[in-house]
A and B are shown apart, each in its own frame.
Chain A
């Protein structure tokens, strides 16, 4: 904390007011309103609201449709997270070796940070296209299995996992690279003197020392795939085929804006809010982010 400060009665309030105003009007008020709406049944045009207590939550708990969206969310998020982390750790380890051309290699990996998930989705949609896609074509040369995401749910999930992981690769690699660079050279040298090399060095020294970064990225990737992939689903699969790619965020949107079941949708928002609070608290508890005085 600063020892040297200015004293002024009203200036600090004036300085912090713009941010607090945005936070209050567009974050806190809507969040509380979602909490309130989750306890009401709302008519499609919002003109009548009937208090129903926790009824919306109970109907969600017994709805097999909702169970499926939770299941799809977890399959999708865990897929994006594990696939993305494995690939980016591999890439970051390679791009952290002392070799020529490193700046080029790093740029050639990090640019993916600029890719918006929905645009990534559009490109992968064509790669997976049942009639024209290159992946479908290549697979048709080696197998007679009908590789059609419009008919098979698991292929649709694979499609959105690839698209999301690709768009998020640059982010993951940036953090792994930064993490690798904080490992003291002396530790690695000591291990080398003891005879560790290659896979062993990675398995017993590098990977354990990276675990705070890996944990942080695990949480951030879960948050990303739960909350920031709406556009990808909306633009590419629209939750289909059937409801194979209807993840929780997409179902919340469908119920709130398409089916006009606002109470149910608000209840789903509240569940998502609990989830993101859980993930954020977990992250702050177990990583060394010191943001408080």
Chain B
């Protein structure tokens, strides 16, 4: 039997198998997508529609009304703006200081290099919850409570980003350094015109991962802000959940949830290629 016969002999079985895979995937995707779909559908209904039994699982006509109402009620514009500022400053800050640290570690010999690298490494083992009280006290002493500096700077160190850039610099051929030395350009020139232009994919990848890290922060923003005008959206959402005595305005809660989810999900979808790369590479 030659190859062609094998293919012919197994084809009907393969087609059948592929159909099952398609069906399983479609079923799983519907299951995974259901909470988001449900949330969206409820966010387009009136309160009466949202709490009736059984609920209709089709969009209704109150989308604009609900979104405007909740936008004004919890100052959604301000919440989204604060989340964007936090996510941008945290992600760009992590990337910039990691590029500089990795550059120092790879391209220079200096006393205490091992120790500095070890210190950055250890931050992996110190997530926010294990140092929360004392970090808060440090920030309070600096007068940074309820400021953007307090919200962002304590989150900016990044062992994973430093590792990623270090790993990447190690793959850059030494000839490039030698060539740039012969041209008479110094280290900063080399960083700016050789390393950075080649780091695009890594920067994009880390940006997605770190932006979402920043956007999704909850504990630290909760601790370090106390005025309404400094709140971030993920914390703000929690305040829309109706308590026992309030009207069950779940249609508005779901509208708020949709608005909080939209930016990070859109970013993941648009930058999927880079995000998967960044996630995998930074953990190596």
Contacts and interface: CB of A to CB of B under 8 A. Distances in A.
A127 B138 CA distance: 40
B107 A5 contact: yes
B201 interface: no
A132 B55 CA distance: 8
A76 interface: no
B245 interface: no
A129 B38 contact: no
Given A37-B134, A99-B18, A230-B219, A118 B234 contact: yes
Interface string A42-78: 0000100000000000000000000000000000000
B261 interface: yes
A29 B134 contact: yes
A30 B135 contact: yes
Interface in B47-88: 50-51, 53-55, 57
A253 interface: yes
Interface in A235-293: 235-236, 249, 252-253, 256-257, 262, 265-266, 269-270, 272-273, 276-277, 280, 289, 291, 293
B219 A253 contact: yes
Contact of A169 (B32, B110, B177): B32
Interface in B225-251: 234-235, 237-238, 240-241, 248, 250
A234 B222 contact: yes
Do most interface residues of chain B lie in helix, strand or loop, or is the interface mixed? helix
A172 B273 CA distance: 16
B206 interface: no
A11 to B, nearest CB: 6
Interface in A1-22: 1-8, 11-13, 15-16, 18-20, 22
A257 B250 contact: no
Contacts of B29: 105, 108-109
B134 A113 contact: no
B22 interface: yes
A236 B122 CA distance: 32
A95 B32 CA distance: 14
B124 interface: yes
A122 B237 contact: yes
A175 interface: yes
Which size bracket describes the interface of A in this complex?
35 or more
Contacts of A227: 127-130
Contacts of B223: 257
A108 B265 CA distance: 11
A22 B216 CA distance: 21
Interface residues of B, number: 107
A235 B237 contact: yes
B267 interface: yes
A293 to B, nearest CB: 8
A6 B190 CA distance: 10
B32 A15 contact: no
A166 B32 CA distance: 7
Contacts of B38: 123, 126-127, 134
Contacts of A12: 104, 108, 110, 113
B132 A269 contact: yes
B237 A19 contact: no
Q: Which of B129, B222, B261, B264 has the most CB of A within 10 A?
A: B129
B28 A94 contact: yes
Nearest to B253: A122
Given A19-B158, A30-B135, A113-B268, 16 more contacts: A5-B109, A6-B107, A22-B154, A27-B122, A30-B138, A94-B21, A94-B25, A99-B22, A109-B29, A122-B237, A122-B241, A131-B51, A134-B54, A175-B279, A231-B216, A280-B124
